[in-house]
């Protein structure tokens, strides 16, 4: 499938009280090549393997294939990954017609919070909650694969 | 799971008349990193995604996870791969207590035929058919991932 999404920085913690659920995610990458990233993810009792292709259309559109795999497999594969695991708490927030996934990173990416929203089409209009900050769609530094390699707390700017 | 296997060169074509089946395989790699190769394979009507870990125990033992995926996904992913696809005809040959998978490579690996046998334990005794040649277990040049990068017809030795 083709994934169309936009990514934003987040201001404050206002999203927390609007969230209908949150879950802990641990993930790492078997490959961080931006043209074919391969992600292993443990989300509660579920394991997933996700392949993401090249980004096109100004970073909005990306090929993606995701398969659920046994949690045990995913846990074992984390140890095989080329990057250290990233941990984050993901909040699901409904706003207007969309669901925002707000990721609070921990560990070496502590202090970074990102919101993502998935769209039906690249030109879809989004109603923006007040806590939504600057758009960073297509900025490779905010890819989770790159946050593994160069965590937020090591950025100098 | 842990895969224990031995790999051999093959002499002549004697295996063909002993084979109970053969099938065409097209495959390529999303990652050729020997510590975490990721293979996409189309075998007849089936697609597979396979992750192989580090080799240990003198090249005999390797972690492996394989998932069947829709053929359409696998075909699309071939275009995303970091290596050109490898094509081969695989013959299944029963001999003694074991099944040998004999791969006749085509294209840039034309002229190379390899046999693999999967074992229950690393010290298991194998009855060897007459066409089985030199063992090349653990020789990284004969990994399919490496045959994509440096095909057999380009070898100088």
pLDDT of residue A104: 97
Inter-chain CB proximity A31 and B35 less than 8 Å:
no
Mention every residue, 6+ apart, whose C-beta is less than 8 A from residue A65: A1, A50, A51, B69, B73, B76, B77
Put residue B33 in one of left, alpha, beta given phi > 0 → left and psi -120 to 50 → alpha: beta
How many other CB atoms sit within 10 Å of the CB of residue A141?
A: 12
Q: Which domains does chain A have, with CATH numbers?
A: 2-154 (2.40.320.10)
Predicted confidence (pLDDT) per residue in A59-116, tens digit: 566 789 999 999 999 999 998 888 889 999 999 999 999 999 999 999 999 999 999 9
Please state, in angstroms and rounded to a whole number, the distance separating the CA atoms of residues A81 and A73.
12
pLDDT of residue B93: 97
Tell me if chain A has a CB within 8 Å of the CB of B71: no
Q: pLDDT band for A12, please (50, 70, 90 cuts).
A: very high
Contacts of B54 in chain A (CB under 8 A): 80
pLDDT of residue B32: 87
Contacts of A52 in chain B (CB under 8 A): none
Tell me if chain A has a CB within 8 Å of the CB of B114: no
> With a cut of 0.85, is the ipTM above it?
no
**B36 to chain A, closest Cα gap in Å:** 7
Contacts of A73 in chain B (CB under 8 A): 65
Please state, in angstroms and rounded to a whole number, the distance separating the CA atoms of residues B35 and A80.
8
Inter-chain CB proximity A76 and B63 less than 8 Å:
yes
Predicted confidence (pLDDT) per residue in A111-138, tens digit: 999 999 999 888 888 999 999 999 999 8
Tokens of A66: 């995701």
| Mean pLDDT by groups of 10 residues along chain B of 157 residues | 87 95 94 90 95 71 90 93 91 95 95 95 90 94 89 88
Mention every residue, 6+ apart, whose C-beta is less than 8 A from residue B71: B42, B45, B46, B47
Burial of B100 (0-12, 13-18, 19+ CB in 10 A): buried
Please state, in angstroms and rounded to a whole number, the distance separating the CA atoms of residues A69 and B67.
8
C-beta separation of B10 from B104 below 8 A: no
Among B31, B65, B67, beta carbon nearest to A31: B31
Inter-chain CB proximity B80 and A36 less than 8 Å:
yes
Nearest to A123 by CA among A64, A57, A65, A63: A57
Contacts of A30 in chain B (CB under 8 A): 31, 36, 38, 51
- Spacing of C-alpha B53 from chain mean position: 15
| A to B CB pairs, distance under 8 Å | 56
Please state, in angstroms and rounded to a whole number, the distance separating the CA atoms of residues A139 and B145.
31
Please state, in angstroms and rounded to a whole number, the distance separating the CA atoms of residues B99 and A57.
49
**A115 to chain B, closest Cα gap in Å:** 27
Task: Report the predicted TM-score, pTM, of the whole model to 2 decimal places.
Answer: 0.76
Dihedral (CA of B42, B44, B47, B48) sign? negative
Please state, in angstroms and rounded to a whole number, the distance separating the CA atoms of residues B37 and A18.
42
Backbone angles phi, psi at A51, to 5 degrees: -110, 130
Tell me if chain B has a CB within 8 Å of the CB of A31: yes
């Amino acid at each position: 499938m083709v994934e169309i999404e936009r990514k934003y920085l987040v201001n404050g913690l206002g999203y927390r009280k609007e969230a209908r659920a949150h879950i802990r995610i641990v993930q790492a990458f078997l490959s961080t090549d931006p043209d074919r990233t391969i992600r292993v993810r443990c989300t509660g009792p579920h394991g997933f393997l996700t392949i993401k292709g090249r980004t096109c259309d100004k970073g909005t559109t990306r090929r993606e294939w995701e398969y659920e795999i046994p949690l045990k497999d995913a846990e074992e594969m984390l140890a095989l990954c080329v990057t250290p695991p990233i941990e984050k708490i993901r909040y699901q927030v409904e706003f207007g017609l969309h669901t925002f996934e707000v990721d609070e990173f921990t560990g070496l990416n502590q202090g970074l919070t990102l919101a993502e929203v998935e769209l039906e089409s690249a030109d879809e209009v989004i109603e923006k909650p007040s806590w939504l900050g600057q758009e960073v769609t297509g900025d490779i530094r905010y890819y989770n694969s790159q946050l593994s390699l160069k965590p937020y707390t090591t950025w100098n700017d």
